Chain A
């Protein structure tokens, strides 16, 4: 009984990490209908940027992410403005192929620069600290912070989307590209802003990716799949749906792993396929499509 309860709590916390992976993807799709096959590799890239900042400046990863975030915002803004905006249109292939090519470039660029060695972000005592929840159940501080950060990111994104004029422009552009331009919205710049913000989310996701486990240049594609599964399970209606999707995926993986450690990833994929069969539009679908 305690074992199951523990698995559920750990699953929810793992879901926080997947929600962080997924929120950036969800944002890109929500605003520019871009399905970014390089998403996982970009998270790994961000983890290496944070690592480089910690090593160069000798600062804590939490401080490093504050320094890395503006850099990553600029990279995201530039990437969208220079490259990805050119791929958007009615044809599906250009964005898919270009982000697929980007995925290979990022992966191999990282291999070239950082080698295939496993790395980890180090943050001293906090890594191993845990909080007791009574009984025999204790949760790690870092997993707890991951979930709290995921919630904070979603609250912040909802604020941007529903309380600011740039957020209004995001939603309007997503609804109707032509009419958005009639409102004086510079679509290219709006998309670039959205990508910049997505990259800040990627930076936060990368922080916890690097704190919770080892990473190396090849683990990106698996992270893309988790992010994608969380987005689809949650439906495309809201960021909260994405959080729910992440948690369901985290639960499926954790419970699967309790049955047999080799089944962790497989159980997550199967849960995703199951949701697809039962509710093809996800748990919280978008009202208008």
Chain B
């Protein structure tokens, strides 16, 4: 081509930042600071509610990464919640480990078991994978029901000496002038906050990384991604193990807070997978913002409607179906399209500027 007649040269730049996100980052910092300081003035009920909100959100982020990005639709994540919980109980009750140390160990054990589990369930594709993961979770549940040292089918409780041995409880008691149970809640609150922020940060930085780009390609079109040389199986495996690790740690924290565990509760498909799926889908799957909105909506519904029992669950199921059919990108999808919003910019945008 004749250089003299060529179009004016343009500089192309691939950018992930986005106009809204800088103020959003500032707001996020303020919100985070507020949440950290919240126990100094908030009542115990709010603290407990927020603990619940935090771990549901953390679980939803994990499931979103798994299903929304890696295309691994699992209905068996309760396997790792229960596993994490049981590992914490075993380590603290039987081995006498400090609970704070038991949480990361629960993550490691979950990762170690996620690998052989993946070896089996990865043989199933798509929808079959979903039910396969559920079967595995049932195997875990029935397996732990056989462990008599942890109470068998009826389960067991943490002794007060274990729950009181979380470091910092004495410090919280004197600092905030509260009784032991309240101090325990506050310790759990900070742990849950740390875990949810950690999960968010992990997902956010993963999606902005090179691997994240590959994940986006898998989400958008798996076959095309494979033909471009993306090693889909190992990326999926890595995501599966990583989410299992985080889910296991969240599970350990949940059961440290609950202080009582049983196979039926710890491996409950409703509590640890169905709710989590609805949070993600109602909020908007395949985005970081979606599960946050979904968790808040779910928390409000749980708080004000849970007393209706079966009707509440029927409503939740119906809402999930309606969102899937009418607004498959969820509430966040509706909002972000309408106002062109992005809080966690993970998409790369091609920006052009004319050459000077």
Q: Which residues of A contact B (CB under 8 A)?
A: 35, 37, 83, 86-87, 91-98, 100-105, 107-109, 111-112, 221, 224-225, 228-229, 232, 262, 265-266, 269-270, 272-273, 276-277, 280
Contacts and interface: CB of A to CB of B under 8 A. Distances in A.
Nearest to B71: A92
B238 interface: no
A92 B277 CA distance: 14
A276 B127 contact: no
Interface residues of B, number: 43
B20 interface: no
B44 to A, nearest CB: 31
Given A105-B321, A265-B138, A266-B139, 12 more contacts: A96-B75, A100-B277, A104-B317, A105-B318, A108-B317, A221-B269, A225-B131, A265-B142, A266-B143, A269-B142, A272-B135, A276-B132
Given A97-B324, A228-B131, A112 B285 contact: no
Given A37-B131, A92-B73, A97-B277, A273 B310 contact: no
Given A104-B274, A108-B314, A225-B135, A94 B328 contact: yes
A103 B124 CA distance: 22
Contact of A100 (B126, B132, B145, B274): B274
A83 B318 CA distance: 12
Nearest to B318: A105
A266 B144 CA distance: 11
Contacts of B130: 35, 37, 96
Contact of A229 (B120, B135, B310, B316): B135
A160 B328 CA distance: 36
B311 A86 contact: no
B142 A266 contact: yes
A87 B269 CA distance: 23
B138 A225 contact: yes
A92 B278 CA distance: 16
Contacts of A83: 321
Contacts of B310: 108-109, 111-112
B239 to A, nearest CB: 16
Interface string B316-343: 1110110011001000000000000000
Given A102-B317, A221-B269, A95 B127 contact: yes
Contacts of B135: 225, 228-229, 269, 272-273
Contact of B320 (A101, A107, A232, A272): A101
B123 A280 contact: yes
Nearest to B221: A90
Closest 6 CB pairs of A and B: A35-B127, A104-B317, A108-B310, A101-B317, A280-B123, A105-B317
Interface string B65-81: 00100010101000000
Contacts of A95: 127
A18 B309 CA distance: 31
Contacts of B278: 101
Contacts of B73: 92-93, 96
A112 B311 contact: yes
B134 interface: yes
Nearest to A225: B135
B314 A104 contact: yes
Contacts of B128: 35, 228, 232
Nearest to A272: B135
B146 interface: yes
Contact of A277 (B120, B127, B309): B120
Interface of B: 67, 71, 73, 75, 119-120, 123-124, 126-128, 130-132, 134-136, 138-139, 142-143, 145-146, 269-270, 274, 277-278, 281, 285, 309-311, 313-314, 316-318, 320-321, 324-325, 328
B121 to A, nearest CB: 8
B314 to A, nearest CB: 5
B124 A276 contact: yes
Contacts of B145: 262
Contacts of B316: 104
Nearest to A105: B317
A96 B285 CA distance: 14
A101 B124 contact: no
B302 to A, nearest CB: 14
Nearest to A98: B321
Given A104-B316, A108-B317, A232-B128, A276 B75 contact: no
A262 B145 CA distance: 9
A278 to B, nearest CB: 10
Contacts of B71: 92
A273 B269 CA distance: 19
Contacts of B132: 232, 276
B116 to A, nearest CB: 10
16 contacts: A94-B324, A96-B130, A98-B321, A101-B321, A104-B316, A104-B317, A108-B310, A108-B317, A109-B310, A221-B134, A221-B269, A225-B131, A229-B135, A265-B142, A266-B146, A276-B123
Contacts of A105: 313-314, 317-318, 321
Nearest to A36: B127
B281 A97 contact: yes
A209 B205 CA distance: 50
Contacts of A277: 119-120, 123
Nearest to A270: B139
Given A87-B324, A100-B277, A92 B126 contact: yes
Given A93-B324, A232-B124, A108 B281 contact: no
B103 to A, nearest CB: 28
A109 B285 CA distance: 27
B67 A93 contact: yes
B278 to A, nearest CB: 8
Contact of B120 (A92, A102, A262, A273): A273
Contact of B311 (A37, A93, A108, A270): A108
Contacts of B120: 273, 276-277
